[in-house]
Structures are given as C-alpha cells and as structure tokens.
Chains A and B, each alone.
Chain A
Amino acid sequence: MSGNNYQLVCGLEIHSELKTKSKMFCACKNDPFAAGKPNIHTCPVCLGMPGGLPLANKKAIEWTIKIGLALNCQINLFSKFDRKNYFYPDLPKGYQISQHDIPFCHDGFLDTSQGRVRIQRIHLEEDTAKLIHQNNYTLIDFNRSGVPLVEIVTETDIKNAQQAKEYAQKLRQILRYLDVADCDMEKGGMRLEANISLKKKTDPDGFLPNYKVECKNINSFRFMEMAINYEMERQAKLLDQGQTPKQETRGFSAESGKTFSQRAKEEAEDYRYFPDPDLPPIEFEPAEIAQIKQELVELPDQYAARLSEEHQLSLDLAQRLVKNKKRAEFFEQLLILAKREKIESKKIINTLLNKKIDYHLSDDPKNTIEEYKKLNELEEMSPEIITELIKELLQENQDVVEKYQSGKTEVLAFLIGQSMKKIAKKVDVNLVKKVLLDQLNN
C-alpha cells in the first residue's frame, strides 16, 4: 500500500495565554515576556507557597466565554476548577488548576476553506513556570507561573496539514480580533499540539485508529504543517510494513524538519483530577452570557463579507483586507471615503495592494485617497503631438504593424505599452488607444 491510501486523522490542541492585567489566581502582574528580570512578578500564591490560596480572575473567565461564543460554542452555566495532579519542577503546587469534566465552553466550530472543524471544548487553566536549562542545572522563572491559559481542543476533523495550518491561523486571527491574547508564537504565548494518526481511506467516517501520536510544543504554523506531513509519511511507512506506530509524544526539530520521540505514552496518564476545594464553582445567568455575546466584536469572516457586499469587492479580495482588526478598520475607512469621491473601490484597493502607493495602517485614509488621486491625475498633451509620436513609433516597428495587419491583433497591447513609454507622460490611455487604432487602420 502506498502513502495515498491513508487518510489523516488529526485534532489540534492549542494553548494561548490571555493578556489580562493580572495572573489567573493572584494579583501579580501578567507580563511574563517583558518582565526584564526573572521571578519579579511572584507572590505566595503563584509560587505555590504553603498557605497560598487561589482567587479566580473574573476577566479571564469572561474572556474564555467570549472566545467560546466567537467559536460558536455552547457555554456551561455551571462550571468549576479542578486540580490536575502531577509532579514537575515548573509546577510549584504539585498540581495545576485546570478544568476537567465541565469546561466553560464546548461543542463549537470554526470553518476553514476545506470544511468545518468542530471544537470539542475550551477550558481555562494556569500556565506553569518557565524552565531554563543550562549545561548541568536548570533555572526556574516563575513570572509565567499562573498566567491565564486557554486550551482550545478540536475534534479529529483536520484532513490535511494545510487545513491544520489554516485552522490555527484563523484561530489566532480571532483571538487577536477579540483583543484577549497576543498569541506571540515565538515567545510561547501560543503553543500548538497536533494529535496525529492515519486510517485507511476505506475506513468509515468517524473511525479512530487504535494509536495516537502527539506532536507537542510546536511554535510556528509552518512547523506544524511540516510536522504533520512528516508524520503522515513516517506513519504510512510503518503501516505499510504491517506495524502500528507507537503511542507516544513527539517533538519537532526545525533543523531536520523531522519529528522525534520524546516520551512513550503506552498508558493514559492518571492526573487524579478532583474539584479544587479552594475555589467555589462558577455559575452564570443566561443573561450574563447574552451580555458577553452582545459585546462581541465583528469577526474577520463577517467583516470580510460585509466589506465585500457594501463595496462591491470579491470575497477573496475582501478577505485580504481583514487580516487583522487595525487593517480592516483602515481599509473600511478608505473605502467609505473612496465611495464619496466616486473612486472605484476595486481599483483603489488593487493600487494599494500592489504597493503602487506607499501606505501605513496608521495613516489617515484621507491622505491615502489624495495620493491615489494624484497618482491617477492625467498630464496635458495635445492630441497632435500624441499622433506625431505614435506615427514615429509605428515607423520604427514596421514588423509589428505588419503582424497586426495580418490579423494578429493581440500585438495591440504591446503597441499601447510602447506608445505610453514613448509619450513618457501620464496621459489618458483610451486616447492613446484611439489614435493608435486610427493609425493602424488607415
């Protein structure tokens, strides 16, 4: 059997730090990347010292629900925090406060160009401290300990690496639109994890293979794409040889472009979850959820659809304008002004996208419109001079003229271009075309 007899079975688990002012369970500043010095944003709570008690950050809970609503999720009106017990030097309490069986959000979806990706759950937890490995010792920076962290888990709906990348990029775009996360991949503000296995193409829908490979801590979309593609190849080879790939956690090396085994995971880990007795359950009224929903900003897909409709742009073109919120707002302002000035929307957008005008999202769109108008202003030149110059041109290019006259009319475009060059001034191209045709048809 060869590689293309297999179908990818893949779900993503994406962690994103929320950019609340304070940490998830204490009043410490949530600023792990710009802190400057290690262990300055710490207190007995996020250091896990005896007697420290967690207090849940309301903003972080509200933002998690906001993310859930943006991703079409159901919201649990009753929810709670649980303790996930395991030992690791970056986890000072010996347990992570997370959510086990009642996450804030569940059963949502995000549409990609290759179909719908269902979202199983979104829960809120605390980030761990950061380990800095030196030659023969390890340092711990607790600035990150207790930073609010959402985990967004999909169903196994991802069909290929390209779709995984698109999903993750769209998710980041939405989180940024909601203004709840910076999603700085390089610093670890957003972390990607792909669960990858293969089934036979003949296996029915919803069939799950009896093994799963987790690729963890991938810090770029491109690397995730590469990791999935690499795994598909590696696993197909093993399956062809009649083997089942090992259930394990694998990392991805950017240097080799390959995944590598990190940890065998033959049995499911036992985290001994139980409700955190330090945190009372959280209950919402339906009206509170409705309020959060009402405050949701326009999301990129909706934004693009509206721009496309209001300004007669193709949906593809409109999509390119809404990559981020600042950009979308700049272009919308610009389009509104253009409409007023009777400038064709598609034309000005193409001019900008083709970088014929230098623009910045921080510019006043009014100035951009002025520049566009200047660019398109025609220079004065009498039709007589134009006719003279064209005549000259045609004499210099007798061979082309002959081609045209023998029926190869497609050379006209070449002649228009040459004429504009010879004229060397911004004149009305329609006038040039008219004179040229007159001369050619004479």
Chain B
Amino acid sequence: MSSSESTVALSTDSNNNHQAYLPSELGVWMFVFGDLLIFSVLFASYAWERVQQHSIFLISQNELSQTFGVINTILLLTGSLFVVLALHSARNNKLSQTKKLLLLAIATGVGFFINKVFEYKDKVSDGFTLLTNDFFMFYYMLTGIHLLHVCVGTGALIYLYKRLSCQGISTDNIKHLESGGIIWHMVDLLWIALFPLLYLIK
C-alpha cells in the first residue's frame, strides 16, 4: 500500500524526473527480501515436517488458541494502517497528527507483545513447551523469531517518534518514516503467513 502511495506523492513533487521513485532506499528493500527469504526457508521446513508428522501436527494445532491469534492479527493490521496514515500526514506536513498516529502504531506493537506473552504463559501452564514435540518446537521458534521482529519494528517506530519530536518533518525524516513503514509491513506480512500456517491450516 505504501509503495503505490509514495509513487503518487512523488509524481507531484518531481514532475521533470521520470525515474521511478523508490520509497526508502535500496538497502532496506534488500534487507526485507533477505529476511523474507529466510522465513520462506523456515516455512518450507515447517511444511516438510508437517507432511512427515501430519497427525501429531493436527492434534497439537488444536491446542492453540485462535482467539489470541485473531487478536494479534487485528493488532498488527491496524498497526500497519496507522503507519501508512502517519506517513500520509507527514507528507502533508501535519506533525502532531503524525506523532499521534505513530504512538498508536507503537501501542499496537506493544499490545501484540503483551498478548503474545500471555499466550506463551497459557501454553506453558498447559504443559506445552519447546520440547513437547516438533509442532511446538516450530510454534515457539517461528512465533519467537517473529516476536523479535515486532520488537525491532516497534523500536524503529519509537526511534522515528523521537526523531520527529526533535527535528520536525523533513525530507530526510519522511525517508526514514518510509523505511519504518516498510519494516512494519514486512512484520505484518510475515504474521499473515504465520497465522494460517500455525493456527488455521487443517
């Protein structure tokens, strides 16, 4: 979503420049695709093990709480929306609105984290740990790695918030906001793949 928006934004401020506009910078995109590559490998090895131990995976999957999963999905998707809106207000030079939206996005990240901690506690108290079986190994590892991404993404948003508070809106900061948005969308995208793989697929 953000990339198409950015294209629109740029066509207005660089009419004489026909070069395609790349939101953020090349390195960020390299990082994102590299990260997606690694998650693809993780998903593939999960799928491979699932085929090998289908019944164990199905039984274990039923122990997961879809409520927690759905709440987290909604939190992340809303967070993505807030980041997009924040970028939009930054482009329109509305500082206080940008900061408010960023705070909301940060809140969704923190909410995701808290929700996940409760979910883990729930699972552990039911006796399901990393070592229960291969399904729970993947469950903890995949969601754990993803949670780390959420933490990094939230940290990036907090950094952006502080930067905006100190320096106000500038071309440089919009560029940074785009990078933050891309990272946040990636975290979102990964969850959209993770959620059905772990919680829904039958």
The reply to whether chain A is a binding partner of chain B is: no
Question: Residues of A at under 8 Å CB distance from B?
Answer: none
